A = this chain, B = another copy of it.
Amino acid sequence: MSSSVRVYFQGTKGAYSELAAEVFFGRMIEGIGLPKFEDLPGALDKDHQAYAILPIENSLMGSIHRNYDLLLISDVGIVGEVELRITYNLFGLDAKNEIKEIWAHPAVLEQCREFITKHPDYKVMSFFDSAGAAEIIVKNNRRDIGIIAGPKVASIYGLETLVEGIEDNPMNFTRFLVLSKKKDIYREPDAKSSLVFGVKNEPGILFRCLSIFALRNIDLMKLESRPIIGKPWEYIFYIDFRGSIAEERCRKAVEILEEISVYFKFFGSYRVIKEHNYESQSKKM
């Protein structure tokens, strides 16, 4: 019997989401890559013992609204968060051979634009499946092809690093959520909690909602409004606060907020892991 944790993620072997799961669980996991983010809640519906990883915010691109939408319509809880620094390298079979083509995922190409435009002689091909691309390169012994990916893909396929850190912006961090059907509540004082609520739009309504947290000295870590498409005068708000729903003052605040909301969903109280050092990163700038 295996004691490994089963984790669903979007992407293929070696994706940053898979790395986030390993960092969170602190050991090897059984990672299962699925084609779309939208496939993740359904996978958990069928596999209640498993977890899923969902990127939710990037330091350059902001909150990933489509993944927030997914949380809204799914019956899953947030049981953890991992923040990773995202960096990309150019990998190949042989550092001594000159490459003529670059293969990468479109989202990765987008983040390595400067490197690519500095090499207009490279032919640039897109693959949604980086692991698949690496496999083709290895199988066909293509020494003329470089692949841009995170460090994990290269280590899986035994590729050599040709150029390191080719992302345009080194201040590239992504927050990943760990999701589960089990909805365990993390009760320690360093917990973070997340919820979404909607209110009828009237001047000052958000002010009244925030008073619930201010009166209880609860620290807001994130607040973001979002218009509801199709209802231009209504908004929903995402809130992250410091504390666990297991604490009396947090439980009270959440109860009262739910009472005055027209729409409300509590996502969970969970543990946060940051796999990088902001200080050392910011000194690099």
In the complex, which residues of chain B have a beta carbon less than 8 angstroms from the beta carbon of A218? 203
Contact A125 B128 (CB under 8 A): no
Please count how many residues in chain A sit with their CB below 8 Å of the partner chain's CB atoms: 58
Instruction: Identify A210's interface contact among B113, B123, B206, B230, CB under 8 A.
Output: B206
Q: Which of A40-48, A92-100, A158-166, A274-282 faces chain B?
A: A274-282
Contact A232 B65 (CB under 8 A): no
Contact B210 A169 (CB under 8 A): no
Contact A225 B223 (CB under 8 A): yes
Instruction: Identify A59's interface contact among B104, B201, B229, CB under 8 A.
Output: B229
Contact B66 A64 (CB under 8 A): no
A125 to B127, CA, bound (A): 9
- Tell yes or no: A3 within 8 A of B by CB: no
In the complex, which residues of chain B have a beta carbon less than 8 angstroms from the beta carbon of A63? 62-63
A126 to B116, CA, bound (A): 10
- Min CB distance A104 to B, Å, is 8
A201 to B125, CA, bound (A): 46
Chain A interface secondary structure, helix, strand, loop or mixed? mixed
In the complex, which residues of chain B have a beta carbon less than 8 angstroms from the beta carbon of A171? 229
- Min CB distance A265 to B, Å, is 18
Interface 0/1 of A47-84, CB less than 8 Å to B = 00000000001111111111000000000000000000
- Min CB distance A81 to B, Å, is 13
In the complex, which residues of chain B have a beta carbon less than 8 angstroms from the beta carbon of A169? 66
Closest to A103 in B: B126
Given contacts A61-B64, A62-B63, A206-B223, is CB(A128)–CB(B116) below 8 Å?
A: yes
- Min CB distance A218 to B, Å, is 7
Choose among A59, A106, A206, A282 the residue with the greatest number of B CB atoms under 10 Å from its CB: A106
A window 113-155: CB within 8 A of B: 113, 116-117, 123-128
Choose among A61, A116, A281 the residue with the greatest number of B CB atoms under 10 Å from its CB: A61
A222 to B113, CA, bound (A): 30
A219 to B106, CA, bound (A): 39
A211 to B223, CA, bound (A): 16
Choose among A36, A104, A225, A282 the residue with the greatest number of B CB atoms under 10 Å from its CB: A225
Contact B59 A62 (CB under 8 A): no
Contact B210 A220 (CB under 8 A): no
In the complex, which residues of chain B have a beta carbon less than 8 angstroms from the beta carbon of A61? 61-62, 64-66
25 example contacts (A-B, Cβ-Cβ < 8 A) are as follows A36-B113, A59-B65, A59-B229, A61-B61, A61-B62, A62-B64, A66-B169, A106-B106, A106-B109, A106-B126, A110-B110, A116-B128, A117-B128, A124-B125, A124-B126, A203-B213, A203-B219, A204-B217, A206-B223, A207-B207, A208-B214, A221-B225, A222-B227, A224-B225, A229-B282
